[in-house]
Amino acid sequence: MRGLLTRYVKVSTTALKQTNRRRCLSNSCRPDEHLRSFIAENTEAAGGESLTPEIRLRLFTPKCRFWRERPELWPFDDPYWAIYWPGGQALTRFLLDNPGVCLGKRVLDVGSGCGASAIAAKLCGAAHVVANDIDTVAAVATHMNCELNGLEPPICVMDNMIGSESGGFDLILLGDMFYDEALATSLHSWLNRCIETHGADVLIGDPGRAQFEGHDIRRLLRQLAEYELPESVREENYGLTCSSVWRYHPEL
Ligand SMILES: C[S@@+](CC[C@H](N)C(=O)[O-])C[C@H]1O[C@@H](n2cnc3c(N)ncnc32)[C@H](O)[C@@H]1O
């Protein structure tokens, strides 16, 4: 699993491919039982050592088989959804501490992974929440994580929405999505369009990754909060110590 962990920072180019169909997992669908069993067997209900101990999540921990198993035995795409990333932790903490940000809003969590930020939006009274991740397994994990927290799952969209028409959202959340320069650049121009056409509010959580700090979008962000990462999160994230939440204020 350590081998898998070291691959997390690399984004697959397939992540940027477009598709015309919308693949969704709504709360009325029962996800594949085999996949649910696989996730249950290979993760542990955790989250207590994160910035948001009040949210429980199915994650990889040292107790899980694939923590040490050879990565090639993992049968799916790299499981980004089984890690609660420092950027997502800060963003989720911020939402829980400022419930008015989501209250009554239509919220889109892009690159939702384990679904923690979408879960926080639901807990804070958002009117409508969509969790979007191109990894179909992430959608099933998000359903299971909602159940773990006694919540109805959000709609999970599994297509690449970056670059597509994204009307209808008041708030767009991006937790730890600036880990790759090409992805950051496509996000930047898409966010400009979302703000220009629909006036969406955009919140970003990032622990100061080089691809984020060095990107053009960085000078257009206003810092809203900074959190010190818990010790265990620092250890798993190669020396990162803090994670911040930013609001995007483009000069359009
Ligand atoms: C670093 S993880 C962050 C997950 C979560 N937001 C968090 O902070 O814990 C990035 C996630 O973005 C997803 N992703 C990558 N490219 C994407 C795209 N174009 N659209 C939607 N999700 C994408 C990956 O599958 C992965 O789950």
Question: Taking the chain, what is the end-to-end CA distance rounded to the nearest angstrom?
Answer: 44
Determine whether the shortest distance from the Cβ of 206 to ligand 1 is under 6 A: no
In this structure, what token pair is assigned to residue 64? 């899980």
Residue 15 in this model has a pLDDT that exceeds 70: no
Q: Is 133 touching ligand 1 by the criterion CB < 6 Å?
A: yes
- Decide whether any atom of ligand 1 lies within 6 Å of the 15 Cβ: yes
> Distance (Å, rounded) from C-alpha 58 to C-alpha 55?
10
Q: Which tokens is 61 given?
A: 């921990």
Mean pLDDT of all residues in 187-209: 94
What does the mean pLDDT of the chain come to? 89
| Least trusted range by pLDDT, from 25-34, 67-76, 114-123, 171-180 | 25-34
CA distance to 27, 118, 251, 252, per residue, from 220 (Å): 36, 24, 8, 11
For the stretch 102-122, pLDDT in tens is 999 999 999 999 999 999 999
pLDDT digits (tens, 9 = 90+) for 155-192: 999 999 998 887 789 999 999 999 999 999 999 999 99
With a 6 A CB cut-off, is 135 part of the ligand 1 pocket?
Answer: yes
Residues 17-21, mean pLDDT to the nearest whole number: 38
Contacts of 70 (CB under 8 A, 6+ apart): 3
Question: Hey, where are the domains in the chain?
Answer: 2-10+26-248
For atom 27 of ligand 1, which residue has the closest CA? Answer: 113
CATH number 2.40.170.20 given to 2-10+26-248: no
Residue 138 CB–ligand 1 contact under 6 Å: yes
Confidence tier at 20 by pLDDT (50, 70, 90): very low
- Is residue 4 within 6 Å of ligand 1 at its C-beta? no
134 lines ligand 1 (CB under 6 A): yes
Q: What is the pTM of this model?
A: 0.91
Testing ligand 1's pocket by substitution, the residue of 145, 177, 185 carrying the most ligand atoms inside 8 A of its CB is 177
Ligand 1 and 111: CB distance under 6 A: yes
Mutate-to-test residue for ligand 1 from 108, 114, 176, highest number of ligand atoms within 8 A of CB: 176
Q: Which atom of ligand 1 is nearest to the CA of 88?
A: 8
